[in-house]
Structure 1
């Protein structure tokens, strides 16, 4: 039987953090969590857009418990401030949905000198997860869900020039694929770490297939943008449908540590959320360890198990 929102359990008492909650699959996930009575922390960079999303969800779900807290994943300082605010307000966090991301942007660097796509899509979430890990460990059924992409299939790792310094070798789509591969390398390594430590934390990943969101708005070359949409419009599914793999990973009682969810049709492009597979490269233990060590060095993340 296909998994739908009707299969979601009641989430009363749960505290859920969703990055990029103001649009796309992050917005849809936030709305679904709110419908099931969770308290959702909307971690968003743009306050105005977050408030607009807040109001829209409230119209649909008048009882929604929503909290907006500013978070810019391109700034380690902002991530630390976000963590400090959460630690002031909450004793535990039950679910962290690392959803926010950008795609196929021109070469730019974050406030901390990282290539922007990796800086936001991977390193920002890596640091955020480490800072919230103590709150997650206090939950009865804590989960971390990282949103990857089928584009991880095109991702490769080159630790001699991971950040494309001085734009060397930078291709927007391949850099995006690298960041999405990093999401999976991070997920599988962290899942193994929590298992070895005997913790109850479940670490999972999901991808939305090809969904109709504003993620493609970051594609900066007009010709590429048109070609992208001409190709994907034939296969795309709604942002709502694209949110379901991540939502299922976050709340399905049967979900297991280290699993990867995605749509079940057209090689993962669209459909109902199911457990799926990722590339052999994403399961490479050496790459996982190298990325973990590199990420710790770059972010000074305080992971403790």
Structure 2
């Protein structure tokens, strides 16, 4: 396949400035305050963790299962998934919970729809959806990787697929929220510090990405896609609030995870001194999904390592506000654009 080319009118986006203090505290955070020790018994609760066959997702699934939850590992089926499930069960032999594989391929929106339909056919409750899975195609320097629907892989897999999955599960999430105490049912959108380091000025990510992405490196494309997760997490908090569903975009931290599996050995060696074990990322996910200190008033807030509310980059705040509120309304507009992209699968 030939190298992808940007149209003549495309240009690299302007990027806002992240304060050094913000970058520093997210790269070298204080000790976690919400760990497996604080997670309560989760008997009777049902959770989906995407990308649970390795890394942070596997750690999160392990802790939820250890607390007797019913955990669906939403992953591509195969040997890796089966081995991961057996590994979790062996690590927590006394769990009274249930572990199951939910086949999910985020590179195909048809498969995403099928996975959501399968879950709804099996369960009438969902207490937490953790959109953890993602791809970082560092070797795709020529821009050849595409989803089944033809999208560049980062925006297709990391942005549109979890958006569709969440939309299709809204009904069961809302039904569960009606039966539970306020704040129990939550959606976690795993973003990254890339939202702040590379996100478009005052927008984070926009439809313009479809034109300018060939001008960006694979690492930049990944960071921009994570800004899309942040936008969805913020806007979801507004749109789903009336149904009692909380939504949190998070930066899980700089972690030793399979996201870097396509990076070269020198790249991995350079990163290793500043990377933390995957379990620390799980603590951030669990804080967002379970911490009793969070309530509806916090929904949509930016959560950073290892489980703290923290201000997002100043210019990005404009995207979260409507024009009537003094913002630019971009988060809402990006949600509507995303709806248009996936409407054939709703």
Return the TM-score normalized by structure 2: 0.78
Mapping for residues 48-197 of structure 1, pairs under 5 Å: 48-62=79-93, 63=95, 64-105=97-138, 106=140, 107=143, 108-139=145-176, 140=180, 141-153=184-196, 154-156=198-200, 159=206, 161-164=208-211, 168-195=214-241
Q: What's 1:201 paired with? A: 245
Match of 2:259 in 1: 215
Distance in 2 (alpha carbons) for counterparts of 1:188 and 1:136: 17
Secondary structure of residue in 2 paired with 1:6: coil
How far off is 1:9 after superposition? 1.5
Secondary structure, aligned partner of 1:146: strand
User: Which region of structure 1 is more displaced relative to structure 2, 112-121 or 283-292?
Assistant: 283-292
For 1:104-144, what per-residue CA distance to the aligned partner results, in whole angstroms no more than 9, with x for missing partners? Answer: 43122110111111111111000000000000011122110
Q: 2:209 and 2:50 mapped to 1: Cα distance?
A: 24
Conserved in 1, the CA contact under 8 Å of 2:233 and 2:249? Answer: yes
CA RMSD of aligned residues (A): 1.9
Is 1:11 aligned to residue 42 of structure 2?
A: yes
More strand by share: 1
List per-residue Cα deviations over 1:247-277 (Å, max 9, x = no partner).
11101122231222222xxxxxxxx322223
Summarize the Cα distance change of 1:73–1:302 in structure 2 as closer, same or farther, 3 Å threshold.
closer
Secondary structure at the counterpart of residue 240 of structure 2: helix
Deviation of 1:210 after TM superposition, in Å, equals 0.7
Match status 1:291 vs 2:313:
no
Distance 2:76 2:199 in 1: 26
Q: CA deviation at 1:168?
A: 3.3
Q: Distance in 1 between matches of 2:118 and 2:82?
A: 18
Q: Is the 8 A contact 1:142 1:202 kept in 2?
A: yes
2:270 aligned partner: 231
* TM-score normalised by L of structure 1: 0.88
CA distance in 1, matches of 2:111, 2:314: 34
Bigger RCO (CA 8 Å, 6+ sep): 2
Partner residue in 1 for 2:67: 36
CA gap of 1:124–1:282, structure 2 versus 1, over 3 A, is: farther
Asked which structure has the greater CA Rg, the reply is 2
Residue 259 (1) aligns with residue 278 (2): no
3-state DSSP of counterpart to 1:7: coil
Q: Distance in 1 between matches of 2:316 and 2:190?
A: 14
Work out which of the residue numbers 305, 309, 312 in structure 2 matches 1:275: 309
